[in-house]
Amino acid sequence: MDLSLTLIAELLALGLVAGFLAGLLGIGGGMLMVPFLTIILGQRGVPAGAAVKMAIATSMATIMFTSISSVRAHHKKGAVRWDLVRGMAPGIVAGGLLAGAGAFALIKGQALALFFALFVGFSATQMLRNRQPAPSRQMPGLGGQAAAGTGIGFLSGLVGAGGGFVSVPFMTWCNVPIHHAVATSAALGFPIALANTVGYVVGGWNLPAELPGALGYLYLPALLVIATASVSMAPLGARTAHAMNVAQLKKVFALLLYLLAGYMLWKGLTA
């Protein structure tokens, strides 16, 4: 597939929106990129199962870049809980490598699409319910944080997202304020993306390229264009997040997840 002007325009638009959402919601933009990259690749002749896997892997790789851009803006606001990043990062790396280099290659693309839809829909419901956590509940100790990180890294690798769809609800459930949870999730996006991307490269090393420019599950031209665009928009999203109130931020997060879950559910059922 040639990198046509139409394709470049589509990828640039996707990168700009994904970058803004990465800063706004701490989700790395993957929840948006996976469905739209699946559409873009499918329209250009990639089989449905392979398109889902390539979209997930390419989306995750872009998060390495958007995370750095987004977290810088959040750090300037003093919102990143670096103690939680240090506690959860080792587990995240382990879970990400396990998913990217192992489970991802074994699971069919249609099954991944269904899993994406169901888990994201569940995350959105939990966010919209807005149940107040027990006042005494706090983040677990280092062992609990490492265990939570392992689960977040593994799930993120299966759906190609930066982990915010799990880590933000988890941290708010433990009485971490929403703005701190979003900022910390943005910081966790880098180890999640790095570990899973290494796993995807290892797991897909011997696969035939579906498209010119593909490296296993990664579609490098899309990675280049989307990452360039998204990095420029992530700081704006982060500044916007700090100007919004908690209720608005939770509603935006949940409604976005519902829309994307619905599309991927349809994709998984009809593929």
pTM: 0.74
Reported as a single tens digit per residue, the pLDDT across 8-49 is 898 899 888 888 877 776 565 666 788 888 888 888 888 877
pLDDT of residue 2: 54
Looking at the chain, the whole-number percentage of residues with pLDDT higher than 70 is 88
Dist CA 160 CA 54 (whole Å): 10
Among 82-91, 157-166, 187-196, the range with the most confident prediction by mean pLDDT is 82-91
Per-residue confidence band for 163, with pLDDT thresholds at 50, 70 and 90 = low
pLDDT of residue 119: 76
Mean pLDDT within 140-165? 82
pLDDT of residue 130: 63
Does 172 have pLDDT greater than 90?
A: no
Q: Which amino acid is at 51?
A: A
Contact 262, 136 (CB under 8 A): no
Listed residue (271, 270, 268) closest to 121, CA to CA: 268
Q: Which amino acid is at 264?
A: M
Listed residue (121, 129, 126, 115) closest to 157, CA to CA: 115
Mean pLDDT within 96-123? 78
DSSP state of 100: I
Find the helix packing angle between 164-173 and 142-159, rounded to 10°.
Answer: 150
Listed residue (84, 31, 118, 56) closest to 191, CA to CA: 84
Q: How far is CA 118 from CA 17, 124, 125, 252, 263, in A?
A: 23, 10, 11, 19, 11
Looking at the chain, the whole-number percentage of residues with pLDDT higher than 90 is 6
Mean pLDDT within 206-210? 75
Least confident range of 49-63, 67-81, 154-168: 154-168
Dist CA 128 CA 107 (whole Å): 30
Does 1 have pLDDT greater than 60?
A: no
Total Cβ atoms within 10 A of residue 221: 18
In the structure, how many helices (H) and strands (E) does the chain have? Answer: 11, 2
Exposed, middle or buried, 143 (CB in 10 Å: 0-12/13-18/19+)?
exposed
Total Cβ atoms within 10 A of residue 269: 11
Mean pLDDT within 146-152? 90
Tokens, residue 250:
């939770």
Beta bridge partners of 214: 219
Does 107 have pLDDT greater than 70?
A: yes
